Chain A
Amino acid sequence: MAKALGILGLQGDYALHARALHRLGIPHRLVKWPEDLKDTSGLILPGGESTTFLNLMEKTGLRDAILRFAQEKPLMGTCAGLIVLATRIQNQKMKTLGLIDLEAKRNAFGRQIHSFQAPVRILPFQDHPSFDGVFIRAPQILSLGGETQALGFYQEQVVMARNRNVLVMTFHPELTADTRIHRFFYQSFVQTV
């Protein structure tokens, strides 16, 4: 029996990530406390409010636990999850995890009335690169550092990036019925690390 993939369940749209993994037949489990990480094969940080995530991660001890977990295991973050995993956030003093070298800007497109849906191009999906990008009060990736590579674009902007074991995107694949990004994370990160 394959190990379960963890989904950070402190707040946010974690149930929609669970739905995507369920559709793919990938076993999964919510992570609310450090001990929930035991025997998981990786961790997805969902959409939600990054300030709430960081606040509760500090109080539950998950912050240090995830930092240790990330030395060996893969992580994926969508929107707020990206903010939590990034090294630098423009104009904000947030104690993020710094697990992927990039600078991001929160709510970069504006407020909710500027949220939108538009096609993005995902490079690893060579033959059919178009993916429905749902951007909700979305952040922007301003610059990539170190070994971080761009994997997806909205027009000319980078909206998806990776390093050795971390995959992040500024949009929400879990809000669509398209499970290709979850499958990509599972096959190219979880099953290979």
Chain B
Amino acid sequence: MYAQMVKTDGDKVKAPDEMSPEEKAFQERVDADIKIEPKDWMPESYRKTLIRQISQHAHSEVVGMLPEGNWITRAPSLKRKAILLAKVQDEGGHGLYLYCAAETLGVSREEMTEALLSGKAKYSSIFNYPTLNWADIGAVGWLVDGAAIMNQVPLQRCSYGPYSRAMIRVCKEESFHQRQGYDIMMAMMKGTDDQKAMAQDAVNRWWWPSLMMFGPPDESSVHSVQSMQWKIKINSNDELRQKFVDQTVPQADYLGLTVPDPDLKWNEERGHYDFGEIDWKEFFEVIKGHGPCNRERLRARVEAHEAGQWVRDAAMAYAAKHAVRRNENE
């Protein structure tokens, strides 16, 4: 998902009789749905895994501003432009809620920024695909934010208090993102043949990458068991992916759009859609940095950070100068 390849710390899940008294008490609190708060005792591996997960999630929000920011100046109307600006600003805000949740675990903002800019930290594979035309903005809102919501709603109940509270705020705001995307698609599907073709082309390109957002299939998702026991992961990747397909296909039908999967069909017996094989080779290539836009995205972040350095320096110098003056006056 937004944190789709989180390596869980620790070798294996411990049985209750292998746990230290602290670990046991900790797991009992998690099992009883009592939130873990920043100053509470927690296993070092829980802390490390959460830092990785929350910061990956935050980086995804921040990098996620880039593909959409690409269309702000070329939005087709003032209304769409205002909406897109508000949405991109929200993504920045979501990044900040999450960074501040991660900081309660003892990692600094600088360390996290450095990890992103050096390429050490990961962010969601989805943002390494280009937004080629306006319909992509509709598809991103509808499919990408739709997939994000599917993952974030259960995380509101996760065991770590600050993360859970950040997710509650994010979810409140995210629903607008998906609906505005669907609204763009509806407008285009009421338009000319060319506009309909653009909408279909966008779905063709965004469908599979959206399904990849949920991360590798369960059988190769080695880190899930521990994270689920800690309740920092609530549902399995495949479970959420299936839910997303089941929810989204009827929405595509309503629009008159076709999902680009010849194997997609309703399975009466299962009560779910069956769908085709995902190209996991592509997924791992993108994760490793070889997607269509990986280098461009990182370059944009590095440039923004470096170009803003003098502003941060000036603000700190100004604050220092005024602190001295205040002391002199007292």
Please indicate whether A and B come from the same complex rather than being unrelated chains. Answer: no
Which A residues are within 8 Å of any B CB, using their own CB? none
Which B residues are within 8 Å of any A CB, using their own CB? none
